[in-house]
Chains A and B, each alone.
Chain A
């Protein structure tokens, strides 16, 4: 199969000699990120959970960003989206991103609102 394979990750910072080498490289990278996540999850450093940034603890933001990084490398290198046609890639990636952003925005705002209602309303639920 004449399959064009791009062997660079981190925008060309790291270039592998073979596709197999790249796979192992990505595994190492993903393992490091998972290790960081687990370590942060166990330690829970105080300065990261006692403040809020954009309505959420900084630690949670770190988790979400690291997850998206992991998802990027799984999709790009394991599901070899990197080697696919640019517009196939865009239609696969941007459709869910748009819909998920919309849905999570709607649901989280609504959840927050109900939380307020429970907190200040007259219905007692925590007893």
Chain B
């Protein structure tokens, strides 16, 4: 690694070994990539903002969607995401400590810190997978109207959401899942929801302490709860039961919310995953002493830039998805 900055006019600019802006080729290219990737993520987040502004009065409230913590039951808005954010910042710190140790040519420290970074990354991706799983599975279940809007059920006194499993009536019905073998051969449907619309509606009618909550946000920033009469009227337009979220239906509200959630956090999770893979490659190179022989740990610095970038993106995703 050359240690001096090329100064002096006498040196030939086109003769090679000249570093524009005092950054090595690899580092500059890593920055080029990061800038372009940052623009990709910005485009996603701007598209999210576009859709959210379109449906600003009916957008789901993230505090009410992401309320789960592994191994605990109850309502814990934001705690787990905050934990994930902290893990990622922490792994960024160990990465930057690895880069620092690399500058000082301390091989063992680089190994140790990179190892911690990889562990942090794996914890983060695992948490994200868990969060996806919880989101897909859903928590309370809801009913979708003919217009594609979501109706949730709340307790009239406490205002807490009630799961459809807690009040639905068991009614024998012959509705069977449509499979390829017994219908039109090129169409099929996924698993049927646990309850039919009829079961939910009948259950609702026989429980007088239940109310319907619509997607509309009122002036206090809460979802609007209908009166009993309005609820019953609204339920007559129910078309299907929705449990959990996927790209087509979303029990938490607007489907676009679920689409963007899967797309943006998925793309970010993919970046974290590839960051872990690249980290492991560089980590093995550090162990076998490649950079020790090269007398430069610049490779660790470059992969570190990518890793910090992933952290940086998460900071924005965290804000725009979970906080705002």
CB nearest neighbor in A for B81? A38
Whether A34 lies near B85 (C-beta < 8 A) is yes
- CB-CB under 8 A from B89, the residues of chain A are 27, 30-31, 34
Provide the B215-244 mask, 1 if CB < 8 A to any CB of A, else 0: 110011100000000000000010000000
Minimum C-beta distance from A45 to chain B (A): 11
Q: Count A-B contacts at CB 8 Å.
A: 151
Q: Is the interface of B mostly helix, strand, loop or mixed?
A: helix
Chain B CB within 10 A, most for which of A34, A78, A126: A78
Q: Is B290 an interface residue (CB 8 A)?
A: no
Provide the B298-315 mask, 1 if CB < 8 A to any CB of A, else 0: 000000110011011001
Question: Size class of A's contact patch?
Answer: 35 or more
Question: Size class of B's contact patch?
Answer: 35 or more
CB nearest neighbor in A for B149? A126
Could you say which of B92-100, B156-164, B277-285 contacts chain A?
B92-100
- Give the residue of B54, B100, B145 whose beta carbon is less than 8 angstroms from that of A115: B54
| Given contact pairs A64-B319, A126-B216, A44 touches B221 in the complex (Cβ within 8 A) | yes
* B contact residues vs A (CB 8 Å cutoff): 1, 3-4, 21-23, 28, 31, 34-35, 38-39, 42-43, 46-47, 49-56, 58, 63, 77-79, 82, 85-86, 89-90, 92-93, 95-97, 99-100, 103, 145-147, 149, 215-216, 219-221, 237, 296, 304-305, 308-309, 311-312, 315-316, 318-319, 322-324
Additional A-B contacts beyond A63-B319, A114-B53, A124-B147 (20; CB < 8 A):
A1-B103, A19-B100, A23-B93, A27-B89, A34-B82, A38-B78, A50-B219, A64-B319, A75-B312, A79-B308, A92-B34, A95-B35, A96-B39, A100-B42, A108-B53, A111-B49, A111-B51, A115-B53, A118-B54, A125-B147
* A contact residues vs B (CB 8 Å cutoff): 1-3, 19-20, 23-24, 27, 30-31, 34-35, 37-38, 40-42, 44, 49-50, 60, 63-64, 66-67, 70-71, 74-75, 77-80, 84-85, 87-88, 91-92, 95-96, 99-100, 103-104, 107-108, 110-112, 114-115, 118, 124-127
